[in-house]
Amino acid sequence: MRILDPHIHMTSRTTDDYEAMYAAGVRAVVEPAFWLGQPRTGVGSFVDYFDALIGWERFRAAQFGIRHHATIGLNPKEANDPRCREVLEVIPRYLAKEGVVAVGELGYDAMTREEDEVFAAQLAMAVTAELPALVHTPHRDKLAGTRRTLDVVRDAGMTPDRVLVDHLNETTVALVRDAGAWAGFSIYPDTKMDEVRMVAILREYGLERMIVNSAADWGRSDPLKTWRTGMTMLEAGFTADEVDQVLWRNPVAFFGSTLVLDPVPGFVAGAAPVPAEFAGSSVLRGVRA
Ligand SMILES: [Zn+2]
């Protein structure tokens, strides 16, 4: 099984996770910029975070045989904090950097006027940078939030096939598919969506424009949920080629040519990482005696 996890926050995961992901078939990931679990106090905090996503984390993933990409954006939660607004001025410069494959994650949290402004401004940046957009749907009032999301995308002049609407469930999937956008599903241990419900949705709606992710982060989550979904698909009678479409070819088609997908040179599965450094730091701790 080859897997591209198109939504996973690896900065909050361990090297054990990277090893387990590689062993399960994960060869590439996309890490969306998001919040820290607590408020940031200013633009410098974003700059360091964005630099780490496209620098250290990209290097760290490659040490474990996994190609790392990022999406850059001001997340909906922090769109409401005036201290964070200034980041909108630095985002366009990051959209041109290597390893950045989309604008995101964008969208609504509490559906405020501030969120409207920040969302529209960043969709405009995506259009200018000719990048797709990763849009998250709110945890509360999901249906209304998803409907409004699709309206804003339309108003921004972005074609729906350049937008991945994420964290969907049984109540929102039809709306997104009818709009012509890509449908994303986050498979969590006990909330949002699980792999059995996911397989039922795939059976009902088909595999086209369907994308599955683990959305693993610093919360209770599982970086192998993409693989578990693939296994559940196989048990339910889907073919290996159909699993490959959902877990690899679909996200590859959505993000497009900015992805780097060739194997990491010199990487050997199960062996200690090839000694290498990024800005003077290594993933190895000390030297072997
Ligand atoms: Zn996320």
> Which residues, 6+ apart, have CB-to-CB distance to 41 below 8 Å?
83
Structure tokens at 260: 């780097």
Q: Residue holding tokens 């769109």?
A: 79
In a domain, 250, yes or no: yes
3-class state of residue 235 by DSSP: helix
Residue pLDDT, tens place only, 185-212: 999 997 778 999 999 999 999 999 999 9
Does residue 154 lie in a domain region? yes
Domain assignment present for residue 287? The answer is: no
Cα of 286 vs centre of ligand 1, distance in Å, is: 33
* pLDDT, tens only, 101-134: 999 999 999 999 999 999 999 999 999 999 999 9
Give me ligand 1 centre to Cα 217, in Å: 7
Query: Within a domain: residue 285?
Result: no
Phi, psi of 105 (to 5 degrees): -85, 135
191, part of any domain = yes
Residue 63 in any domain: the answer is yes
Rounded to the nearest angstrom, the distance between the alpha carbon of 135 and the centre of ligand 1 is 10
**Residue 144: CATH number of its domain:** 3.20.20.140
Averaged pLDDT, 59-85: 95
288 C-alpha vs ligand 1 centroid, how far in Å? Answer: 37
Structural domains counted in the chain: 1
| Predicted TM-score (pTM) above 0.85 | yes
In a domain, 180, yes or no: yes
Give the length of the chain. 289
Q: Domain of 153?
A: 3-258
> CA-CA distance, 108 to 289, in Å (whole number)?
52
User: Is 266 inside any structural domain?
Assistant: no
Q: What confidence score (pLDDT) does residue 121 get? A: 96
